[in-house]
Structure 1
Amino acid sequence: MNTTATNRKTKTVILLLLIFGELLSTFDKVAINVAVIPISKEFGLTETQMGLVISSFFLSFAIMQPIGGSLADRFGTRKVIIISLITWSMITIFTGLAWSLASLITIRFLFGIGEGSYPSASVAAIGETFPFEERSRAKSTLSAGGKIGGALGSLFVAGLITGFGWKLMFVILGCVGLLLSPLYIKYYRPGGIDVQKHSTNEKITLIELFKKPLLWKLMVVYFGFSIVSWGSQSWLPSYMVNVHHLNLVSMGALITIPAFFTIVGVIGIGWILDKYVAGREKIVIITGSLTTMISLLFMTQSPSIVEVLICMTIASISIVSGVVTIFTIILKHIPSSGVGRASGWIYLSGNLAGVVAPTVMGFMIERFNGSYEAGFWFLIAALIISLLIGLTIQTNLDKTNKKEGEIGFQVQ
């Protein structure tokens, strides 16, 4: 087998394993959003307490993002990803042993620690393995794996809960992760042969990263996007059941419809980012913010489930396109030695949103007598911030610095 074919095989294997990990981690995160419905009945939880259970995961998950990114930059992504997979799978099993509100919050906090290193390490793995001109497509394909997990997760988890109960559902999901871990130990060995000629050996310190206005702007934009993402993921199942009177299985099935359309959309946006809007990425961020705001506004006023699904689909595609664009900017505008750390801090901001969004939405719903409309207006307000900051982002293509096989940018 020649060098090119060998390297192509390496990249394919790494990307497939990253996608499996992304899919499984999404399954495990989605599980609590569906399971919180029977859990709240069993433990007698209010909406605010339900929000705290969901948010406890995001607090530790957020804390681990920069730590995991730094570890990936220092030790490589292989060790970080394998340890993370095994740890979060074991704690997923422990979730099924919860017996009270306090135990649920504690276990979900530990789950966030176990899974928290994976996202930034997976972005760093793309930087390790793929050349510049392929990174948007690699990241968008990886994001599609997460959307597949979101699409199938609600339906799969709802089916498991209906058939076996919420406790055994968590045990089954955790066992799946442990059974997959030997594949990662044997085959997960990132780093392409030809990627080195596309990458820079420039070292960048954490202090130098923080001196870049671009990093701070992306953190704020991602925070706003994540308010919408985590807020809607946490409360849409309850919204569909309580407002549109669907049962768990019907809800899980219908939520898959927007997710599958989003999979196609997110792969397409990766191709567009690589081919057509390099250096002008903020166009996607601005468009995504505006489109999502309009979609959420219409969704709150939609009387039929069909209209709700259409609005959900448009909003989902728009948000994921913006998120892929943020990490495309990181992968193409930050030296390879700092991709893990930069991604970690971006993910930190997003998961702080995960701490805030479920609890605030739960409070808003409870405060306004069960009205979900108030919660969705909170999401729209977050998008206004992302839009305003997105307008100030500059990623200007510097053609004088463009070399063969390399994309060079000046960033602000």
Structure 2
Amino acid sequence: MTVLLTGLALINFLDKVVIGMIAVPMTAELHLNPAEFGLIAGGFFWLFSVSTIAVGLLSSRFQTRWLLLAMGVAWAIVQVPQAMTTGALSLLACRVLLGAAEGPFLPVTVHALYKWFPDRKRNLPVAIVSQGAGVGLLLAGLVIPHITRVWGWRMNFVLLGGVGALWSVLWLVFGREGNLVGAQAHADATHGDGAAVPHRPLRKTLTDPSVLCVFLIGFAAYWSLSQVLTWLPTYLEKGLGYPGIVAGRWFAAVVVTATPVNIGLSWLSQVMLERGASTRVARVKLVSAALIVSGLVYVLPLLLGLSPSQKVLLLAVGAALPTVCFAIGPALLAEVVPEYQRGAVLAIHTAVASLGAAFSPVLMGAIVQARGAQFAGACETGFATCSVLAFAAALLALRWLHPERSRRELGTAAAHAQSSAA
């Protein structure tokens, strides 16, 4: 299941990143200015949050196997009109629809994985699945420029549709539902002595400080990810002057850096947990440190006189570190949230966090449009906005994110709510 879901993650991120990789020839053919391109790129996330919450709520009632199959089929179908688009409005509509179809991917995938792995073994499989994204981005950097040069930018959408259809067939044949859901639900629903634990209100869960901090961490990580995926290829070509094929290779180098960083930090967190470290140390402080270092790295190209290659290498580190939030953030939520609320809360988390992905390309487009000829400096200013969010998320997490305390307090609140109702 982990391997199949890693393949779906690969397709998911190819779908996301292709718009940035073909930006130069596509914007030239469709006569798009930077602000319009930023709007189209951000449009992918307009319905992302709505569909994420809707399907996340369904994941508590329907098997994730069938929800994931529906997603794979929908992604493949929506590639067709993208390949045939003739103007900005139609392309925007296609990206909005694709975003709505892809929004639920992460929470449903994580919910599906958690049905196969217990709490202390969840970091690594989620990190491995997220590296499907890394492989997808690597392939994008190496393959999409070549396809675009030989067959044109539209052919990328045709091929993505075919790959999505192939995955859907494989999932239909081999996809299965995990067997830990019943045991986990029983553990959440009973005390150690077998007495029933009252259900807590979802509102109480969503307003818990730890849950809100995880949401903010995800927002900062999505902000960084979307900005890099959308604007880095154009920055490499127009800002730093690399030819298209060379820019694609640099892009691949940037995104592949996230793979060892994400898996390494997730593995370190898991080892710390297995050796007795608290989740406050092994998860919260580790993620916070990664965000602080990322924030420092993102701002350096504005402060130092660096060569183009040095700037790209710094961006690779700055973009890689926040990706650990995608593996550890859901694990933190799973500690606090009972199984009967987990699918819904993971969906709401992705919906709130992905708003960062909707806003960041638009802001970058506005900055680039305003600064005109200073393209490199404008992009570097836009990338530096990631620093502000990374610092804020890390500092608030260090102050307010306490998973063990939140789980105790929410359990007490649920019991009090039931006694008051009685």
- TM-score w.r.t. the length of structure 1 is 0.88
Aligned to 2:133: 146
Q: How far, CA to CA, are the matches of 1:163 and 1:384 in structure 2?
A: 43
Q: Does 1:234 align with 2:236?
A: no
Q: Does 1:269 align with 2:265?
A: yes
Q: Does 1:389 align with 2:396?
A: yes
Q: How far, CA to CA, are the matches of 1:141 and 1:260 in structure 2?
A: 13
Q: How far, CA to CA, are the matches of 2:342 and 2:110 in structure 1?
A: 7
Unaligned runs of 5+ in 2: 190-198, 411-422
Measure how far apart 1:197 and its partner are: 6.4
Q: How far, CA to CA, are the matches of 2:408 and 2:381 in structure 1?
A: 41
Provide, for residues 59-99 of structure 1, a one-character-per-residue CA deviation record: whole Å limited to 9, x for no partner. Answer: 11222111121122221211110001100111022211111
Percent identity, aligned pairs only?
19
Q: Does 1:372 align with 2:379?
A: yes
Measure how far apart 1:244 and its partner are: 1.4
Unaligned runs of 5+ in 1: 1-13, 399-407
User: Could you tell me which amino acid in structure 2 is paired with residue 245 of structure 1?
Assistant: G
Measure how far apart 1:262 and its partner are: 2.0
- Where does 1:5-404 land on structure 2 (aligned, <5 Å)? 14-192=1-179, 196=183, 200-202=187-189, 206-276=202-272, 277-280=277-280, 281-300=283-302, 301=304, 303-369=306-372, 370=375, 371-395=378-402, 397=404
Closer/same/farther in 2, CA of residues 93 and 356 from structure 1, 3 Å limit: same
Closer/same/farther in 2, CA of residues 195 and 284 from structure 1, 3 Å limit: farther
Measure how far apart 1:344 and its partner are: 1.0
User: Could you tell me which amino acid in structure 1 is paired with residue 379 of structure 2?
Assistant: Y
Measure how far apart 1:196 and its partner are: 3.0
Aligned to 2:194: none
Describe the SS at the equivalent of 1:130: coil
Aligned to 1:405: none
Q: How far, CA to CA, are the matches of 2:340 and 2:21 in structure 1?
A: 39
Aligned to 2:193: none
Closer/same/farther in 2, CA of residues 340 and 257 from structure 1, 3 Å limit: same
Describe the SS at the equivalent of 1:59: coil
Closer/same/farther in 2, CA of residues 176 and 114 from structure 1, 3 Å limit: same
Give the conservation status (yes or no) of the 8 Å contact 2:181–2:339: no
Q: How far, CA to CA, are the matches of 2:245 and 2:395 in structure 1?
A: 39
Measure how far apart 1:285 and its partner are: 2.5
Measure how far apart 1:234 and its partner are: 1.1
Q: Considering only aligned residues, what root-mean-square deviation do their CA atoms show, in Å?
A: 2.2
Provide, for residues 142-164 of structure 1, a one-character-per-residue CA deviation record: whole Å limited to 9, x for no partner. Answer: 11221221222232222211121
Provide, for residues 302-352 of structure 1, a one-character-per-residue CA deviation record: whole Å limited to 9, x for no partner. Answer: 532331232123213311123322122023332222222111111112221
Q: How far, CA to CA, are the matches of 2:184 and 2:164 in structure 1?
A: 35
- TM-score w.r.t. the length of structure 2 is 0.86
Q: How far, CA to CA, are the matches of 2:20 and 2:301 in structure 1?
A: 20
Q: How far, CA to CA, are the matches of 2:305 and 2:353 in structure 1?
A: 28
Closer/same/farther in 2, CA of residues 168 and 275 from structure 1, 3 Å limit: same
Provide, for residues 269-320 of structure 1, a one-character-per-residue CA deviation record: whole Å limited to 9, x for no partner. Answer: 2222222154222212221221111111123445323312321232133111
User: Could you tell me which amino acid in structure 1 is paired with residue 239 of structure 2?
Assistant: V
Measure how far apart 1:181 and its partner are: 1.0
Q: How far, CA to CA, are the matches of 2:95 and 2:184 in structure 1?
A: 42
Q: How far, CA to CA, are the matches of 1:194 and 1:235 in structure 2?
A: 40
389-398 vs 49-58, greater mean Cα deviation: 389-398
Q: How far, CA to CA, are the matches of 1:37 and 1:316 in structure 2?
A: 22
Count of residues paired in the alignment: 390
Give the conservation status (yes or no) of the 8 Å contact 1:40–1:46: yes
Give the conservation status (yes or no) of the 8 Å contact 2:293–2:318: yes
Q: How far, CA to CA, are the matches of 1:411 and 1:135 in structure 2?
A: 24
Measure how far apart 1:242 and its partner are: 1.0
Describe the SS at the equivalent of 1:58: coil
Closer/same/farther in 2, CA of residues 351 and 197 from structure 1, 3 Å limit: closer
Give the conservation status (yes or no) of the 8 Å contact 1:131–1:199: no
User: Could you tell me which amino acid in structure 2 is paired with residue 51 of structure 1?
Assistant: G
Closer/same/farther in 2, CA of residues 200 and 386 from structure 1, 3 Å limit: same
